[in-house]
């Protein structure tokens, strides 16, 4: 036992000496979690970026456009600039022509601008004719701002989208058929859910598919049956993409997914350090002492599990600060799930080292497999967005089961007993993969 | 004290150690001399228990080492051929890890680390990362890391490869001191000067076989000549060298001929032949042959090949 402990401590000493490893394990995933949290709009009300200067030009007089401007002004992430100050101090509404000169000037007052043109809901194209101007400092910033803009638009004025669809339908079908079509739907809705067909038809034509409920899924106080009907349909899609009202699963997914992905990287790196130790002849020195080969392997395993638990818990605590994930109530169960997930990840790294001829091959293989498992397993985006046949492969990845475990604890608040199936699967993966790894190690040249 | 009987180790078809038998006596410094690939490291690893011989036995004080008993391992210390240290950690951390693996701890471990660092003049660099060390410093640390647990037998596998002369000297003086204090040392090298300086007995190995074993004098006595005569290799001496060839061993290296006369060949005959070729006596120097000559004589190859 004691050699395992000594070797374990040695691995931690090496780890904390290695700045690249520390940043890959903690800082990089933290940044990814932060960014993706912003992009998917799961930031807590009292955190996240605030007051990003955003110029808004409203060139038309569309009521929904005014509503969107109001929504952007209410959004804490943005500081909306909609007026232009003349040299003499008087103000006028900002115009599109003002944007480029201002944005290109040194010390630009804003680097992002949104233009809502007069033909906002044009019949020429599907969707909204929004124009976004940006002079970003980097790609990630653009993505972040775009994500926040999208979130605001989707959650506040989905009506605009409905309207755009309607405008296109009208152009495509012709006025008469269009009226008949909407009338038919209104009749059907009224028959099925009750309500006044004429009112429903008016609502549909204005693009209001129950949009009131869209941005506020919890508030089902809306008595309009049409609204409820469409709210239910739309909500199904919106859960994954927007996640404004479903903070925890989205945040849990983001934290868990990125944490697991980078844990896999860290642990593969640690397993491939076996090659470096071999090449340096260190195993000769260790094995000349009263230490066995399996003690070396189990020390690596124990190290991986401990590092994994530590990393996952640190990142979930970061998720607590960033997104308000409720960690405290579930600490013990979360620890258990983290331990199982870390064990599965460690065994993966060990197997990788066991089947690879050298460190380069191992890290190449690791990168490929980890990227595949992470995307398939849902670490990058929710797997419900993937085609169904691909979703079946998700279940073959340990990333998927780890994330299932995290959300079972943090989102569904499952008890120990309820967690057993997932723990069983993670434990099974660990056992099978470790058995394979040890079998391979005994045949490999790593200790020669 | 340490006995190897008919020890053989194969890597696939390659016989790396081929039926080596030898006995190492308590307190001696035993040299294993042979060129690269001779099987020195493999022999060391077999003694250290890192590999299991395919045939033969190794025993320490009558107890088989092959079984890999922990208490017997504690009697041995291995200095690997490569610098086997954690370069991202300090000297002190390295020594602590390896000391702890041998079961040392607490005040005793600290005392031994202090002592070890002082012995190889690394005390003031103890907290520096090994990767900042010079080759010689890393080698010195590599050496003392094998001594923390006070083994009875120290296995040094080419501990001076790539070392500056000053560090090499420091290592030699330290090993000589340990030897005087009674430590049994097995020292492998492909430098005959090292074997000559350090070792009381030397085994000459090549292609996994032990070709000869004995003290320096015993090994030199195996040569059929007692002198080695050198003279320049150039166009003037070429006919003379050709005429000399039937009378002994003639080798040429670095613009010099070295002639080792056959037992029956008289020096007077040599100089008569030189005179007949018009070569003056001052061209020739004679010296006592070295282990190099012994190796050449035994294997037909040069150590440096
Ligand atoms: N792990 C190994 N696998 C296969 N062949 C090896 C291995 N280690 C050494 N050899 C071969 O065995 C022979 C002896 O090697 P070694 O004991 O390292 O010699 P030395 O230490 O005297 O240079 C060499 O021909 C070498 O190529
Ligand atoms: Mg060697």
Is residue A262 one of the residues assigned to a domain?
yes
Both A122 and A169 in one domain: the answer is yes
d(CA A49, CA A54): 13
Both B140 and B155 in one domain: the answer is no
Question: Least CA distance to A19: which residue of chain B?
Answer: B88
Which of A4-8, A43-47, A136-140, B233-237 is the most confident on average? A4-8
**What's the structural domain count of chain B?**
3
Check whether A316 has a pLDDT greater than 60.
yes
Number of Cβ within a 10 Å radius of residue A332: 10
State both tokens at B267. 């020096």
A286 contact B CB<8A: yes
Please tell me the predicted confidence (pLDDT) of residue A50. Answer: 64
The candidate with the shortest Cα–Cα distance to A246, out of A75, A32, A42, is: A42
- State the burial class of residue A255 (Cβ atoms within 10 Å of its Cβ: 0-12, 13-18, 19+): buried
Both B101 and B119 in one domain: the answer is yes
Is residue A22 one of the residues assigned to a domain?
no
pLDDT band at A410 (very low <50, low <70, confident <90, very high): confident
d(CA A280, CA A265): 22
The domain that holds A149 is classified in CATH as 3.40.1710
**Residue A70: domain span:** 52-173+210-240
User: Which residues, in sequence order, are CB contacts of B151 under 8 Å at separation 6+?
Assistant: B74, B75, B76, B77, B183
Determine if ligand 1 sits within 6 Å of the CB of residue A281: no
Both B67 and B189 in one domain: the answer is yes
**Residue B124: domain span:** 87-150
Is residue B302 one of the residues assigned to a domain?
no
ipTM of the predicted structure? 0.83
Is residue B300 one of the residues assigned to a domain?
no
Is residue B91 one of the residues assigned to a domain?
yes
Over residues A387-410, mean pLDDT = 87
- Cα separations (Å) of B78 from A116, A236, B110, B182, B204? 77, 67, 21, 17, 21
Q: Where are the alpha helices (DSSP H) in A280-395?
A: 282-288, 293-323, 331-355, 359-377, 388-394
Both A284 and A227 in one domain: the answer is no
Q: Are B184 and B24 in contact (CB under 8 A)?
A: yes
Is residue A201 one of the residues assigned to a domain?
no
User: From ligand 1's centre to the CA of B8, what distance in Å?
Assistant: 13
Please tell me the predicted confidence (pLDDT) of residue A271. Answer: 82
Both A282 and A341 in one domain: the answer is yes
Both B67 and B103 in one domain: the answer is no
Q: Are B284 and B229 in contact (CB under 8 A)?
A: yes
- Of A44 and A76, more confident: A76
Is residue A181 one of the residues assigned to a domain?
no
Please tell me the predicted confidence (pLDDT) of residue B45. Answer: 93
Is residue B81 one of the residues assigned to a domain?
no
Check whether A221 has a pLDDT greater than 80.
no
The candidate with the shortest Cα–Cα distance to B143, out of A276, A275, A285, is: A285
Both A115 and A236 in one domain: the answer is yes
Interface of B with A (CB under 8 A): 45, 48-51, 70, 73-74, 76-78, 80-89, 93, 97-98, 100-103, 129, 145-146, 149
Interchain contact, B86 vs A10, CB within 8 Å: yes
- State the burial class of residue A106 (Cβ atoms within 10 Å of its Cβ: 0-12, 13-18, 19+): exposed
Over residues A345-355, mean pLDDT = 92
Both A324 and A225 in one domain: the answer is no
Please tell me the predicted confidence (pLDDT) of residue A244. Answer: 33
d(CA B87, CA B90): 7
d(CA A307, CA A270): 10
The DSSP call for residue A317 is: H
Both B55 and B170 in one domain: the answer is yes
The candidate with the shortest Cα–Cα distance to B79, out of B189, B222, B193, is: B189
Both B60 and B102 in one domain: the answer is no
Which residues are registered as beta bridge partners of B202?
Answer: B31, B214
- Of A299 and A237, more confident: A299
Three-state secondary-structure class, residue A393: helix
Please tell me the predicted confidence (pLDDT) of residue B281. Answer: 83
Both A218 and A308 in one domain: the answer is no
Residue where a domain stops, chosen among A221, A240, A259? A240
Both B24 and B166 in one domain: the answer is yes
Interchain contact, B85 vs A288, CB within 8 Å: no
Please tell me the predicted confidence (pLDDT) of residue A394. Answer: 87
Both A326 and A377 in one domain: the answer is yes
Please tell me the predicted confidence (pLDDT) of residue A6. Answer: 95
Q: Are A317 and B78 in contact (CB under 8 A)?
A: no
Both A217 and A307 in one domain: the answer is no
Three-state secondary-structure class, residue B155: strand
pLDDT band at A136 (very low <50, low <70, confident <90, very high): low
pLDDT band at A436 (very low <50, low <70, confident <90, very high): very high
User: Which residues, in sequence order, are CB contacts of A221 under 8 Å at separation 6+?
Assistant: none
pTM strictly above 0.80: no
Residue where a domain stops, chosen among B204, B222, B240? B222
Is residue A397 one of the residues assigned to a domain?
yes
- Cα separations (Å) of A131 from A114, A137, A141, B93? 6, 19, 17, 60
Is residue B53 one of the residues assigned to a domain?
yes
d(CA A187, CA B259): 118
d(CA A126, CA A171): 11
Both A215 and A295 in one domain: the answer is no
Both A155 and A265 in one domain: the answer is no
Both B155 and B239 in one domain: the answer is no
Please tell me the predicted confidence (pLDDT) of residue B129. Answer: 95
Both B256 and B136 in one domain: the answer is no
d(CA A317, CA A334): 11
Both B237 and B184 in one domain: the answer is no
Both B143 and B157 in one domain: the answer is no
Check whether A216 has a pLDDT greater than 50.
no
pLDDT in tens, B260-294: 888 778 878 888 888 888 888 888 888 887 888 78
Check whether A114 has a pLDDT greater than 90.
no
pLDDT band at A138 (very low <50, low <70, confident <90, very high): low
Please tell me the predicted confidence (pLDDT) of residue A218. Answer: 36
**What's the structural domain count of chain A?**
2
pLDDT band at A128 (very low <50, low <70, confident <90, very high): low
Both A224 and A255 in one domain: the answer is no
State both tokens at A33. 């979690």
Number of Cβ within a 10 Å radius of residue B247: 17
In the structure, ligand 2 is a single-atom ion and the residues with CB under 5 Å from it are B 40-41, 81
- Of A244 and A157, more confident: A157
d(CA B196, CA B208): 21
d(CA B119, CA B130): 17
pLDDT in tens, A143-188: 667 777 777 776 666 666 667 667 767 777 777 777 877 787 778 7
Please tell me the predicted confidence (pLDDT) of residue A219. Answer: 37
d(CA A268, CA A362): 8
Check whether A276 has a pLDDT greater than 70.
yes
Residue where a domain stops, chosen among A240, A262, A297? A240
Over residues A380-384, mean pLDDT = 75
pLDDT band at A229 (very low <50, low <70, confident <90, very high): very low
Both B30 and B157 in one domain: the answer is yes
Low-confidence ranges of chain B (pLDDT < 50): none
Both A344 and A421 in one domain: the answer is yes
């Amino acid at each position: 036992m004691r050699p395992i402990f000594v070797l374990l401590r040695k691995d931690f000493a090496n780890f904390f000496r290695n700045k690249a490893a520390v940043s890959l394990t903690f800082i990089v995933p933290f940044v990814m979690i932060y960014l993706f949290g912003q992009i998917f709009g799961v930031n807590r009300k009292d955190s996240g970026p605030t007051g990003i200067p955003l110029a808004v030009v409203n060139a038309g007089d569309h009521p929904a456009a005014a509503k969107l401007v109001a929504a952007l002004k209410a959004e804490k992430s943005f500081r909306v600039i909609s007026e232009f100050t003349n040299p003499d101090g008087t103000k006028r509404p900002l115009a599109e022509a003002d944007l480029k000169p201002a944005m290109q000037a040194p010390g630009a007052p804003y680097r992002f601008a949104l233009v809502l043109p007069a033909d906002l809901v044009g019949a020429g194209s599907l969707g909204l004719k929004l124009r976004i101007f940006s002079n970003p400092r980097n790609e990630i910033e653009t993505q972040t701002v775009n994500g926040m803009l999208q979130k605001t638009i989707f959650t506040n004025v989905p009506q605009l989208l409905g309207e755009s669809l309607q405008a296109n339908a009208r152009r495509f079908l012709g006025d008469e058929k269009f009226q008949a079509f909407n009338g038919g739907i209104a009749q059907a809705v009224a028959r099925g859910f009750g309500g006044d067909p004429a009112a429903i038809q008016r609502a549909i034509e204005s693009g209001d598919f129950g949009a009131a409920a869209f941005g506020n899924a919890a508030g089902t106080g809306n008595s309009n049956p049409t609204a409820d009907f469409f709210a239910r349909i739309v909500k199904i899609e919106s859960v994954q993409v927007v996640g404004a009202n479903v903070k925890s699963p989205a945040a849990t997914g983001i934290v868990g997914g990125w944490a697991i992905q980078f844990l896999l990287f860290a642990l593969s790196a640690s397993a491939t350090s076996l090659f470096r130790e071999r090449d340096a002849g260190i195993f000769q020195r260790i094995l000349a002492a009263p230490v066995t080969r399996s003690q070396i392997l189990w020390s690596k395993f124990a190290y991986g599990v401990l590092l994994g638990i530590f990393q996952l818990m640190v990142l979930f605590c970061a998720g607590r600060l960033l997104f308000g994930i409720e960690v405290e109530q579930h600490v013990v169960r979360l620890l258990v799930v983290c331990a199982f997930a870390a064990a599965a990840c460690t065994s993966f790294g060990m197997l990788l080292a066991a089947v690879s001829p050298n460190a380069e091959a191992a890290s190449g293989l690791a990168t490929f497999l980890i990227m595949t498992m992470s995307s398939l397993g849902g670490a990058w985006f929710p797997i419900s967005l993937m085609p169904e046949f691909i979703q079946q492969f998700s279940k073959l990845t340990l990333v998927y089961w780890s994330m299932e475990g995290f959300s079972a604890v943090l989102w569904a608040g499952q008890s120990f007993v309820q967690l057993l199936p997932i723990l069983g699967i993670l434990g099974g993966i660990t056992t099978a993969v470790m058995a394979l790894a040890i079998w391979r190690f005994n045949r490999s040249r790593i200790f020669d | 004290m340490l006995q190897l009987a008919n020890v053989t180790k194969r890597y696939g078809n390659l016989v790396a150690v081929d039926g080596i038998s030898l006995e190492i006596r308590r307190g001696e410094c035993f040299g294993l001399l042979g060129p690269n690939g001779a099987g020195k490291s493999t022999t060391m690893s077999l003694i250290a228990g890192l590999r299991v011989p395919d045939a033969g036995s190794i025993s320490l004080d009558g107890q088989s080492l092959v079984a890999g008993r922990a208490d017997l391992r504690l009697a041995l210390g291995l200095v690997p051929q490569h610098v086997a240290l954690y370069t991202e950690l300090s000297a002190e951390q390295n020594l602590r890890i390896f000391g702890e693996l041998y079961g040392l701890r607490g005040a005793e471990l600290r005392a031994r680390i202090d002592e070890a660092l002082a012995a190889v003049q690394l005390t003031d660099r103890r907290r520096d990362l090994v990767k900042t060390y010079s080759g010689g410093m890393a080698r010195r640390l590599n050496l003392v890391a094998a001594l923390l647990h006070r083994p009875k037998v120290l296995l040094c596998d080419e501990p001076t490869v790539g070392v500056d002369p000053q560090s090499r000297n420091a290592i030699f003086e330290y090993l000589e001191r340990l030897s005087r204090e009674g430590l049994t040392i097995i020292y492998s090298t492909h430098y005959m000067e090292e074997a000559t300086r350090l070792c009381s007995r030397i085994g000459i190995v090549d292609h996994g076989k032990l070709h000869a074993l004995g003290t320096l004098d015993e090994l030199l006595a195996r040569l059929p000549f007692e002198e080695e005569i050198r003279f320049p290799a150039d166009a003037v001496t070429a006919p003379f060298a050709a005429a000399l060839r039937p009378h002994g061993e003639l080798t040429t290296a670095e613009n010099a001929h070295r002639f080792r006369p056959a037992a029956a060949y008289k020096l007077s005959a040599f100089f008569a032949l030189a005179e007949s070729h018009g070569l003056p006596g001052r061209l020739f120097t004679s010296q006592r042959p070295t282990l190099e000559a012994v190796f050449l004589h035994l294997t037909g190859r040069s150590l440096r090949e």
